[in-house]
């Protein structure tokens, strides 16, 4: 118990200012390169830095690597309504509330309720907003009503007057793609393609898993030819990914919660590679999901009667270390047993995990990622893996004209 409390105290006491660095505005990539895989690739391996190009990734990985990708797809989450007075109201869809399941919410044909952020809220006095959209030469009236307040989010009921169209198609025509705020520009036509990975499938994110933006079909082909294996999971990235840590220490930061889904096939692959290969997380979202699986496995071990619908990793749960902690293999087997008892092949859960210095990675052997904002939870995660080496890496990148943030260059971090 004493060690457990000491670790938690150590992590929550981390000073936010220790993860600040000077990021000149001209280092932020406002637009992607013409070719995805022509970005630079900074490789860090056991303290050594190598400058490469992303298309060379397959030959830079350890032999027999399993790359785990987040196949989420960014939705057109920003919906703008114009009041009769001329006031412009922005409704930014974050997560479905009723129904709470993403797939069911997107299939809704009359109405649904979403957790949202509201722009220019003071101009919305509670009356119903209306927007006319056109799909297949048919005019459809979309309405938005304030339902309730939930913490710092608003519950907004959307309804529309044509049940032949599901909400997925409504939002596709009514909304715009939410590119990151630090790009300081409006969404352009090119972003509709380039702010999605080539393997995006499952709608639900309000931000792209940007480590995946560098991959092309050619890179995938080269990865397979080099003997590496590929796997997918789905974590829907929330707007909280852009939220800086504003508190003096990270104890004052409330981590956002994100939903994820995995198939039992991934658990079987992770079991295999835990013993005979390297598991490489493509992006911080994949890393958060992979590490969360370990803690869900601990829950399943400690609570044999756990219901599959109750799976959630809380913010500080990963720092409640105890003696004789189960192995990753034991955690994966416990989750497979949980799926068996619930007669399902898909595990659906949510995670609020904050990975910060002091955290010990159980599943992730290597990480592919972009360069992240100062004082962000993503930089904390990088530092948890690299230790103080993150500053050496970022200084090298700044001095060698690497491009930063979502449309910027890539990194491959490896330990042996």
Q: What is the pLDDT of residues 163-221, one digit of tens each?
A: 999 999 999 999 999 999 999 999 999 999 999 999 999 999 999 999 999 999 999 99
pLDDT tens by residue, 75-116:
999 999 998 888 899 999 999 999 999 999 999 999 999 999
For residues 345-353, average pLDDT: 96
C-alpha to C-alpha distance for 269 and 259, rounded to whole angstroms: 21
* Residue in the structure block whose two tokens are 């198609």: 169
**Residues 254 and 240 sit within 8 Å (Cβ to Cβ):** no
Q: Kindly list the distances between the CA atom of residue 313 and the CA atoms of 267, 288, 299, 318, in Å, as whole numbers in the listed order.
A: 17, 10, 9, 8
Query: What pLDDT is attached to residue 305?
Result: 86
86: region left, alpha or beta (phi > 0 left; psi from -120 to 50 alpha): left
Q: Is the pLDDT of residue 139 over 50?
A: yes
Whole-angstrom distance, CA of residue 133 vs CA of residue 141? 7
pLDDT category at 243 given cuts 50, 70, 90 is confident
Q: What domains are there in the chain, each with its CATH number? A: 2-73+195-414 (3.40.1780.10), 77-176 (no CATH)
Closest CA to 306 of 345, 256, 349: 349
pLDDT for 150 equals 76
Q: How confident is the model at residue 4 (pLDDT cuts 50, 70, 90)?
A: low
- pLDDT for position 276: 86
CA distance 80 to 87: 10
């Amino acid at each position: 118990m004493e060690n457990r409390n000491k670790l938690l105290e150590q992590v929550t006491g981390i000073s936010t200012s220790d993860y600040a660095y000077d990021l000149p505005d001209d280092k932020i990539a406002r637009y992607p390169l013409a070719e995805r895989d022509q970005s630079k690739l900074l490789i860090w391996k056991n303290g050594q830095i190598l400058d490469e190009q992303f298309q060379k990734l397959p030959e830079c990985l350890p032999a027999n690597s399993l790359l785990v990708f987040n196949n989420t797809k960014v939705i057109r989450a920003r919906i703008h309504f114009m009041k009769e007075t001329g006031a412009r109201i922005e409704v930014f869809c974050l997560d479905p509330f009723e129904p709470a399941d993403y797939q069911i919410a997107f299939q809704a044909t009359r109405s649904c309720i979403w957790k949202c952020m509201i722009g220019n809220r003071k101009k919305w006095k509670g009356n119903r907003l209306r927007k006319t959209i056109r799909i297949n030469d048919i005019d459809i009236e979309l309405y938005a009503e304030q339902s309730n307040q939930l913490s710092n989010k608003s519950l907004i009921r959307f309804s529309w007057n044509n049940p032949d169209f599901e909400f997925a198609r409504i939002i596709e025509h009514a909304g715009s793609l939410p590119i990151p705020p630090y790009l300081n520009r409006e969404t352009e036509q090119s972003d509709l393609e380039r702010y999605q990975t080539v393997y995006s499938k499952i709608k639900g994110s309000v931000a792209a898993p940007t480590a995946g933006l560098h991959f092309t079909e050619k890179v995938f082909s080269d990865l397979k030819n080099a003997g590496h294996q590929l796997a997918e999971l789905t974590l829907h990235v929330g707007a909280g990914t852009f939220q800086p840590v504003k508190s003096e220490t990270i104890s004052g930061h409330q981590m956002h919660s994100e939903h994820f889904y995995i198939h039992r096939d991934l658990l079987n692959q992770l079991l295999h590679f835990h013993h005979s290969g390297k598991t490489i997380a493509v992006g911080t979202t994949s890393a958060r999901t992979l590490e969360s699986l370990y803690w869900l496995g601990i829950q399943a071990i400690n609570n044999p009667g756990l219901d599959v619908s109750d799976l959630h990793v809380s913010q500080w749960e990963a720092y409640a270390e105890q003696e004789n902690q189960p192995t990753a293999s034991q955690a994966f087997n416990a989750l497979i047993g949980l799926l068996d008892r619930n007669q399902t092949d898909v595990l659906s859960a949510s995670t609020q995990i904050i990975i910060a210095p002091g955290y010990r990675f159980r599943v992730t052997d290597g990480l592919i990622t972009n360069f992240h904002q100062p004082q962000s939870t993503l930089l904390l995660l990088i530092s948890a893996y690299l230790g103080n080496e993150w500053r050496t890496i970022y200084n090298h990148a700044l001095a060698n004209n690497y491009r930063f943030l979502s449309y910027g260059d890539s990194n491959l971090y490896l330990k042996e």
